[in-house]
Amino acid sequence: MIRPGKMLKQVLDSIFRKPATTNYPFTKAVMPDKFRGKIIFHPEKCIGCKMCMRDCPAGAIQIRKIGDKKFECEIDLGKCIYCAQCVDSCLKKALETTKEFELAALERNKLKVTYHADTGEVSKE
C-alpha cells in the first residue's frame, strides 16, 4: 500500500529499545582481535635488518644502532598510518600491534615514541 509514514511503526518501536550508540568515552570501546593499533617494539628480538624501515609507507619508523647488537626504535605516531606492514616485514617478530588507539596528544613531540634497548618505552621530551 502506498502511503506516507511508512517508517512510523519502526520509529515508535525504537522508543522502547536500548539506544544503538555506546556511551564512549565512558564505556570503553572494544577493538577486534586483528586491530592494527599502536605498534610496540621488542628490542631484545631486533637484529637491525631495517626491513621495517624499508617497507614503511609513511616513513614513521626509525631503527638506530646504539651498541653491539643493540637497537632502539623510534616510531612517530603522528606519521604512522597503522597499516602494520612493519609487523609483517619483520622476520624476527620484534614489532607487534596492540589494541591501543587513543593516541592523540597536544604536542607534536609527544607523538614520537622511542623504545630504548634497555629500558623499554620512553617518550621524547
The DSSP result for 52-66, as a single string, is: HHHH-TT--EEEEEE
Report the distance separating Cα 25 and Cα 63, nearest Å: 34
Stretch of 7-15, 40-48, 66-74, 111-119 contacting other proteins, by CB under 8 A = 7-15
Of 69, 14, 78, 16, the C-alpha closest to 44 is 69
Of the candidates 12, 15, 18, 20, which one interacts with other proteins according to CB under 8 A? 20
**Residues numbered 46-85 forming contacts with ligand SF4, rule: CB under 6 A:** 46-52, 56-58, 60-61, 63, 75, 80-85
Under rule CB under 8 A, residue 56 binds other proteins:
yes
The helix (run of H) or strand (run of E) holding residue 120 is strand 120-123
Binding positions for other proteins, rule: CB under 8 A: 1-7, 10-11, 20, 31-36, 54-57, 81-85, 88-89, 97
